[in-house]
């Protein structure tokens, strides 16, 4: 079974912007992360929850506010899976090329 969940989590403009913002490190609390997105705080909160469920992000409560922390491990896995797809594809192309060259031998 393949892990589509991580891509699903990144596959929304609001969520992807949140992740980008976190990577840039400009902020970290739920409140700050939820602002300037053009949607309500509660709307943003639901998107953060999607990221939490997909393990892209962790929540660390500190007093009355909560820190949102990026989980780069998950991103790494997502990246490596794509790499693997590409590699398989390239190997197949290479095999195909070898075969064609064999055919053309004359």
Partner DNA sequence: AAAACATGCAACTAAAAGGTTGCATGTTTT
Partner DNA sequence: AAAACATGCAACCTTTTAGTTGCATGTTTT
> Residue 25 binds which entry of DNA, its own copies, none, with Cβ cut-offs from 5 to 8 Å by kind?
its own copies
| Contacting residues toward its own copies, per CB under 8 A | 1-2, 4-13, 15-17, 19-20, 22-25, 70, 72, 75-76, 78-79, 82-86, 88-90, 92
> Residue 92 binds which entry of DNA, its own copies, none, with Cβ cut-offs from 5 to 8 Å by kind?
its own copies
Beta bridge partners of 67: 29, 60
CA 60/CA 17 separation, integer angstroms: 20
Nearer to DNA, 31 or 81 (CB): 31
Q: Residue 24 burial by CB count (10 A; 0-12/13-18/19+): exposed, middle or buried?
A: exposed
Q: Which two tokens stand for residue 13?
A: 């403009």
Least spacing, CB of residue 41 vs its own copies, in Å: 21
Q: Which of 11, 80, 92, 9 is nearest to 51 (CA)?
A: 9
Interface pattern 16-55 for DNA (x via CB under 7 A)? -------------xxxx-x---xxxxxx-xxx--x-----
CA 64/CA 94 separation, integer angstroms: 57
């Amino acid at each position: 079974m393949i892990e589509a969940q991580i891509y699903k989590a990144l596959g929304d403009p609001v969520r992807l912007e949140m992740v980008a913002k976190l990577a840039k490190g400009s902020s970290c609390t739920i409140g700050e992360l939820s602002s300037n997105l053009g949607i309500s705080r509660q709307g943003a909160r639901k998107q953060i929850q999607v990221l939490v469920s997909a393990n892209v992000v962790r929540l660390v409560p500190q007093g009355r506010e909560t820190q949102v922390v990026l989980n780069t491990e998950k991103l790494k896995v997502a990246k490596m899976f794509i790499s693997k797809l590409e590699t398989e594809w390239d190997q197949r192309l290479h095999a195909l090329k070898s075969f064609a060259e064999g055919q053309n031998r004359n």
